[in-house]
Structure formats: structure tokens, C-alpha cells
Amino acid sequence: MEIIVADTADHLDALAADRVADYIRAHPGRLLCLAAGQTPLGMMRVLLDRHRRGEIDLGAMRYAGLDDWLGLGYADAGSCAQFLRDNFYHPAGMPADRFRLFDGLTEAPEAECREMEAWIAAHGGLGLSVLGIGLNGHVGFNEPEHLVRHGPSRGCLVVDLDETTRRVSQKYFAKPLPVARGLTIGFAELAASDRILLLAGGAAKADIARRAFAENATPAVPASLLRTHPRFTVLLDPAAAAGWHGPSNTV
Ligand code: F6R
């Protein structure tokens, strides 16, 4: 595991964009899996700027959305589908046949999972996965309770959301909206990515980042299980590293 502490939050965005750009140049055509949420937004803006300046070609890649709330679709503010389309795919001018997102409005969630699995398989498996970390240590919607009970899931799955995720979800919605289940790429599928970049920024993430990357690995903190991945990089801003991590290192 490589842990890098950026100088500032903006520096984290730039370093994350550098890593993604390097991957795009080295592996054009591979599948990039992107989390939604507050964490990767700055990185996406940097990538879009570089794309517009012709420094990278985001269109060279294929994309898979990491997860979404079951019951919410593109029209719903706070859905991952809306976030990714409005903040990344549309501004990048990405043709629709280059990316696949979970359809949270599906009436057949299991079939939706099989379709995402087929998309991933058809493009050679996940190349680079860019993840955030939830306050409970989840990656995607691979929730602690699920990992503890069932272990890492292959393929994609429908998950019952933990209490923490249901509570935190409200920060994404304009008005209170109960969410109970999610669609996600499973932990084992993510762990099979060629390369994984996990970003964490802000003081609110310091405690869970310490538990995930400085204490014993445990399914109760799903992100901690990524530490055995051979090409796993954690990028932190100073606030997320505060109190537990010194200079950047590789362990
Ligand atoms: C979102 C996702 C989640 C988030 C995590 C952190 O697609 O997969 O695992 O990455 O909950 O969310 P933010 O970045 O909003 O703090």
C-alpha cells in the first residue's frame, strides 16, 4: 500500500488527476470505475480541464459507475447517475456507448447487476478504480455489515445499506429521502481491479482513514481489506491524515 499525503485539498485533486491521466496514457481503452460523491469532484474538474486543453483523452477509456441508490434515477438529485453524468460524462462530451451506470430505477435489480457484470467482463475487467471511503469504511456500497456476514462478494450485488450510510446519504439530497438499498460493484470485483486509487479528504474522514489504513485490517472496515492489493494507493489531504499519519510512504 502506498499512502500519499497531499499538501492541500487542491493538491490532492491534482495528484489524483495525475494518477488517472498516467493510467489513461498507459492503458487506453481500459475500464475506469468512478465513485460519485464529494470526494472525487475536484479531481474530475482537473481531469476535465486537462481534457479540454487536449492534454489527455478521456474518450479513450470506457467507464463503469461504482454504485447507486436503489429507487433513484438520473432525474433524482443525489443519485450517483446524475452526479456522474452532470459532473463528468456530459462535460467531457462522452458518447453514451462509452460508459455504463447502474439504473437505480430498475424493477429487476438482480438483472441490472448481471448487466453491469457483463459490461465489466466485455471490457476486460476493471482497470483503474477510483474510490472514496464512507464514514463507516465502506467502498462503493460494500457495507461493513455485509462484509462481516457474507465476505467479499464477486460481481455486482444489491445491498442493504448500513445505518451510517442511510444517515449520511441525506447530505446528497435536497429534501429528506429514505434510502434502504443500493446497487454496487462487489468488493471482490473491485479488489480484482488492475489498480486502485482511494481518495479521502477533510477532517471528518481522519478517524475512519486511520482505522482503515493504520490499524488491523478487518471486514468491519471494508476499505482496510484493500491493503493487500499490489497496486493500491491512498491519497489523503492533510485534514484526513491529521493526527495519525506523517509524511507520505509506501508500506
Ligand atoms: C459513491 C460511493 C461511496 C462514497 C463514500 C464517500 O459512489 O461509492 O462509497 O465514495 O461514501 O462519499 P463522499 O465522497 O461524498 O464523502
Query: Closest Cα partner for 158 from 217, 99, 117?
Result: 117
Q: What DSSP string runs through 71-107?
A: T--TTSTT-HHHHHIIIIITTTT--GGGEE---TT-S
* Secondary structure E strands in 17-71: 31-34, 62-65, 67-69
| 75 Cα to the center of ligand 1, angstroms | 19
Q: pTM for the full model?
A: 0.97
Quote the percentage of the chain above a pLDDT of 90. Answer: 95
CA of 240 to the centre of ligand 1 (A): 15
Q: Which of 13, 112, 123, 138 is catalytic?
A: 138
Report the run of H or E that residue 49 belongs to, with start and end.
Answer: helix 41-52
Q: Are strands 181-185 and 67-69 parallel, antiparallel or unpaired?
A: antiparallel
Q: What is the pLDDT of residues 100-144, one digit of tens each?
A: 999 999 999 999 999 999 999 999 999 999 999 999 999 999 999
How far is Cα 88 from Cα 2, in angstroms, rounded to an integer? 27
- Atom number, ligand 1, closest to the C-alpha of residue 168: 11
User: What are the DSSP calls for 118-137, one per residue?
Assistant: HHHHHTTSEEEEEE---TTS
Q: Spell out the domain ranges in the chain.
A: 2-250
- Asked if CATH classification 2.40.50.1040 holds for the domain at 2-250, the reply, yes or no, is no
Q: What pLDDT is stored for residue 71 in this prediction?
A: 96
Residues with C-beta less than 6 Å from any ligand 1 atom: 35-39, 66-67, 80, 132-134, 138-140
Cα dihedral: 148, 152, 156, 159 (round 10): 0
* Tens digit of each residue's pLDDT (9 = 90 or more) over 45-70: 999 999 999 999 999 999 999 999 99
d(CA 41, CA 176): 23
Condensed to tens digits (0 to 9), the pLDDT of residues 138-153 reads 999 999 999 999 999 9
